[in-house]
Structures are given as C-alpha cells and as structure tokens.
Structure 1
C-alpha cells in the first residue's frame, strides 16, 4: 500500500509539473512566436506598416499616406486567409479582393468566441510572397491590439490597407493570412457549468470611430 501511495504521489507531481509547464508555454507563446518571426522575416508587421500614420491605434486616422498615386494600369488580387489556434470561429468575410496599387481597400474579418469562458487573443499576420510584406501597408487592423471576448460573443474587425505602387510588377497575387492565438494568463479558466445566455448580434469594432 505504501508503494502504491508513493507511486501515486509521484504521478500527481509529474502531472502538476506538466500543467504548470503547459500554462507557462501558453503565456509566452506569442512573444516567442514574434521573436522567431522577426528572425526569419515571416508573419510580422513590416517596418513600412509601423511607419504608416494610424497604425498605432486601430480605428483612428484611417487615410491613404500623402503623395500616394493609384496605379490603375495594374490590378493585384489579394487573397484572405484565417487560422485559429484554438476552439473558436475566425474567418474573412470575403476570400479575395482585386485592388490597384495605391488604392485604399477594406476587408472585414469575423470572429466568434464559441467557448463557455472569456478569452483574450491576438492575431499575427503573414504574407505570401514574402517580398509583399514590405509593400502591404495596413492603416487599420485588429492585429495591432489584443482583444477580450465574452462567451459566445461575435465581432467584425476591419483591415484597411494600401499596396505600395513600388511593389514588383512580377507580383500579381498576395495572400494575407492571420493566425489567431489565445493570450495565456489573461482569462479565467472554463467554468464548471455551461454559460446560460450568450450575447446576440454582431458588434462591429473600430468601424466609423
């Protein structure tokens, strides 16, 4: 009996260590991911994006940078993709859009927290081909901030962007993809009982503000 208790205690200890390790990994996942992306040059907000007016606060100062010329002789197909690292719904309102370089365009992304607990999350963008990142200027984007959603809550978030006319003419298609990560350590654990009521309706975020 004594040996059995000892083995059980060891097992409980191992499970506790694993649980703490998983929590810690989830908490630092986004900083680690961003650091890796900075080293590899993928899935990051490009320097040109950070320098565009309005990028600091989503939903404000959405305008085309001064002296931007619209090149109507070229058409770029922008494809939109969404990946969710967790049990929630995340998708673009449309799969593609054709724009001229220098033209302001907007696409909406839809998100719903289908869990029975609050959650905080943040989106990380990526681009294909890689060279397009330096020329894809986002003036407004939900990826600039972290968001907290209640159980069942729905949101629509805009992405307003301009493609730099200096983009190589060999590039005719750009894929903008977002991966949505839960931000560890910022939300309570799942309740033991299901949530009784869910918020209804789609609440736009950032539009018109």
Structure 2
C-alpha cells in the first residue's frame, strides 16, 4: 500500500477492529489512533500503576458519584481519533452498554502519566492535549514523572486548551470545575524517575 502524506492509513472502523483483535495476539498492549496514525501504548511500569491508584483513590474519596474509568474515547475534531487515557473521570454509569470506544460528552477529565517511552511521552505532552481539547473534554491532567510536575489543562477552545498550569510535585493542585478536586501532590515524589 502506498502512503499518501497527510492522509490516514486506515479509517477508524478498521482501527477499531485491529484494536479489538490485538490484545488477543499480544498480551498487555493498547493501541491508539491519533492524527491518522496507529500508535502502540507501552506496557507501564509499577510506579505508573501506583500513580494511577493514588489518583483513583483520591477521586473516589472526594467525588464518589464519579468513577475513574479505563475506557477508550473518540477524540479529535471529527472524532476520527481513538485514545486510551490512563484514566477517564466520568459518572459511574457513563459507559454502560457502550462499545470499546465512546464519545466524550460525559467526560469531566482525562489523565495521563508519563512513561519510559519517548514517543508515548511526546503524545501525552503534545498530541493528546490537542485531541482532548478538540473533543471538548473540560480538564486534562498530565502527571509528568520526568519533570516531577502536574500539568493541568482546562478551558478547551477548539484545537487547544486555553489555560495550562504547571505545579511542582509537593504543591496543592486544584483541578478546575467541573472536576473540583484538590490534590496534595506530595506522594507523587515517591514515583518519579
């Protein structure tokens, strides 16, 4: 197949079928489809999982009517992208009865935790904020273990978030509405690289 620059190499429906079959062939991988490109999410390390656990516990404690889901989302302007955030804060029943990839209407926040993979880190810092903003997701939280910072993106304005605030680990971070959770990021110092 010849590749046409600037054009997707597959359509979202083809990607969804591939993503459905891939975990059966190779255990532990997650596929994403961003900017018309197929990308493979690396297998996270133990500290990555510990950061996710910390955030799940904090969100459930403060917002028990919500849940941090691990669900695929349709993202980007025309919803042609497919992303698998590390967590999706939404009402507990938001994805009941839906397939593997859901629209982002009920999503309050997505979050990502950086990994050892340079490509994945680039996506988390550059491509995903744009994709999440285009989908209208109110808050994107990036836990950057390389720089020991929490980066809060809010006020999606089409192709980007209008507000981006960076906090060093150890600071108190207020996630803006509609999330409305205050995070004490001191524990994150234990899981940096």
TM-score relative to the length of structure 1? 0.24
Structure number, greater radius of gyration: 1
Q: Relative contact order (alpha carbons < 8 A, sep ≥ 6): 1 or 2 greater? A: 1
